[in-house]
Structure 1
Amino acid sequence: MIVLKTARELKIMRQAGRIAANALKAAGAAVEPGVSTWEISHVARRTIEKAGAKPTFLGYGGFPASACVSVNNVVIHGIPSKRQIIREGDIVSIDVGATYEGFVGDNAFTFPCGKVSREAQALMDATRESLYEGIRAAVAGNRLGDVGSAVQRYAEARGYSVVRDFVGHGVGAKMHEDPSVPNYGTPGRGVRLLPGMTIAIEPMVNEGVAGVQTLEDGWTTVTADGKLAAHFEHSIAITPDGPVILTVPD
């Protein structure tokens, strides 16, 4: 069931989104050679808790940390570790959620560690722009297929593959609500977008094939061919005046 949010609920979701975005920004600033993925997650947790919110990911489905930190060929759900050290040239996808007054803000960004390869930078740029293509299509009256198609067209036109095993989602009182928000689709198909809907659009784009595999820990998901992946996400609200990004930092 899709839950349309009231004006009051949207106001709270802006706050939750701001906290999540600030945590993501702080975690991204911590990405440097020699830093562990655990330290990056800890920065996110500290930022969220200082703002009076709770890290949504911590304990969610048994996840053991406050942020997913996914390096290079890890697409999503990387488990932070004190033993995993970030190195110059790595690309680091950080996914952070914050729960504030009963509502969730959810966002992700892929950060470069120092100077990265031209290929890595091009992948990150294309994935980020595919997110904004999807957001621009998230207009009241359009359908989810318009959003997914916009993401897919942009990424695939540049020679990349869109992950199909994992998709975006509705967001609100729960981190994962209806509807599912694929990063692929057919224009004019799918659920119609209505004012009051809040969704997380999150392209996961691979340098090589679209296939992924989940490791034995049950979380870490890597590209099937070992090539790079990037991940960007915003929580947005559908409004009569167009899509509004909720995950905006200070």
Structure 2
Amino acid sequence: MKKKIKNEFDIKQMRISGKITANVLEMIKPYIIPDISTEDINQICHNYITLKKKAIPACLGYNNFPKSICISINDVVCHGIPNRKLFLKNGDIVNIDVSVIKNDYYTDASKMFFVGKVDKKNKILCKKTRKSLYLSLKCIKPNNKINNIGKIIQKYIEKNKFSVVKEYCGHGIGKKFHEFPHILHFYNKKNNIKMKKGMTFTIEPMVNTKSSYVKCMNDGWTIKTQDGGFSAQYEHTILVTKNGCEIITHQKKEKIPKIFINI
């Protein structure tokens, strides 16, 4: 399959979209408190995206997904469906996954939130998952093989006694939600295409406290750990630049730069 190389116009539009995606994750933080329903969180994000930012929530209606964002709590790995009967409670760890379309361009990002007082091991899980994504950014530059991303993530996560989910991966993104290439979060020697300046893709490691095995629930969307272990995920949309990369969905208060110089 052909690698999608973005031109300057594409990149400008994706930066606009990426800023909105980042803004949603910044905006929602004060609402992540005990006893709020996940549907209320979804509605707050939906209104912010559509009314304030004049953008489109990419998840809504995508392959019949019924809501505007994904909310995944504790042992839910990804694709959790917001529900007016599902309430956050003290001690939960929550992933909020936001994808928006602005001027026909997609961007995608997610992060973890803590509800009240969270168990130390689950805080460490989230911290190490985020760090694995951050570490992988240091290998992004033209002509480096894409499987180095997964190699770095897997090595770091397994060194810290957690496991990487292998069924789901990052993806190219631009004028389509999911484009080539696939970005695996574990090492696969066949996943060896070379990065090129102008490529845009997501990196989104999903990391479990116990085994890496997952199961799909009866709703056809919600993915949970098979053994009840907790799961964390962080995601950014990334642009390969001439000498490194740019985090298109970079958020305020992140402890890493928006631009990486890797050459």
Q: Which residue of 1 aligns with 2:255?
A: none
Query: Cα distance, 1:45 vs. partner?
Result: 1.3
* CA distance in structure 2 between the aligned counterparts of 1:186 and 1:165, rounded to whole angstroms: 13
* CA distance in structure 1 between the aligned counterparts of 2:251 and 2:123, rounded to whole angstroms: 23
Q: Which residue of 2 aligns with 1:37?
A: 38
Matches within 5 A, 1:213-228: 213-228=215-230
The alignment's TM-score, normalised by the length of structure 1, stands at 0.97
Moved segments of 4+, more than 4 Å:
186-189
Query: Could you tell which deviates more after superposition, 178-187 or 204-213?
Result: 178-187
Matches within 5 A, 1:153-192: 153-186=155-188, 190-192=192-194
Q: Which residue of 2 aligns with 1:96?
A: 98
Query: Cα distance, 1:28 vs. partner?
Result: 3.0
Q: Which residue of 1 aligns with 2:107?
A: 105
Cα deviation code 1:175-211 (max 9, x no counterpart): 1100010001157951100000001000000000000
The RMSD of aligned alpha carbons is: 1.3
Does the Cα contact within 8 Å between 1:68 and 1:79 map onto a contact in 2? yes
Q: Which residue of 2 aligns with 1:240?
A: 242
Query: Could you tell which deviates more after superposition, 175-184 or 128-137?
Result: 128-137
Does the Cα contact within 8 Å between 1:142 and 1:188 map onto a contact in 2? no
Cα deviation code 1:197-234 (max 9, x no counterpart): 00100000000000000001000000010010001000
Does the Cα contact within 8 Å between 1:37 and 1:81 map onto a contact in 2? yes
Unaligned runs of 5+ in 1: none
Q: Which residue of 2 aligns with 1:27?
A: 28
* CA distance in structure 2 between the aligned counterparts of 1:38 and 1:45, rounded to whole angstroms: 10
Unaligned runs of 5+ in 2: 253-263
Cα deviation code 1:79-116 (max 9, x no counterpart): 00010000011000010001001101100001111110
Query: Cα distance, 1:241 vs. partner?
Result: 2.4
1:124 corresponds, among 123, 126, 137, to: 126
Q: Which residue of 1 aligns with 2:197?
A: 195
The alignment's TM-score, normalised by the length of structure 2, stands at 0.92
Query: Could you tell which deviates more after superposition, 188-197 or 159-168?
Result: 188-197
Matches within 5 A, 1:73-84: 73-84=75-86
How many residues align structurally? Answer: 250
- 1:151 and 2:142 aligned: no
* CA distance in structure 1 between the aligned counterparts of 2:133 and 2:32, rounded to whole angstroms: 22
Query: Could you tell which deviates more after superposition, 72-81 or 32-41?
Result: 32-41
Does the Cα contact within 8 Å between 1:68 and 1:96 map onto a contact in 2? yes
Q: Which residue of 1 aligns with 2:59?
A: 57
State the one-letter code of the partner of 1:16. Answer: S
2:209 corresponds, among 182, 207, 210, to: 207
SS of the residue 1:20 aligns to = helix
* CA distance in structure 2 between the aligned counterparts of 1:137 and 1:163, rounded to whole angstroms: 21
Query: Could you tell which deviates more after superposition, 38-47 or 97-106?
Result: 38-47
SS of the residue 2:28 aligns to = helix
* CA distance in structure 1 between the aligned counterparts of 2:30 and 2:167, rounded to whole angstroms: 30
State the one-letter code of the partner of 1:114. Answer: G
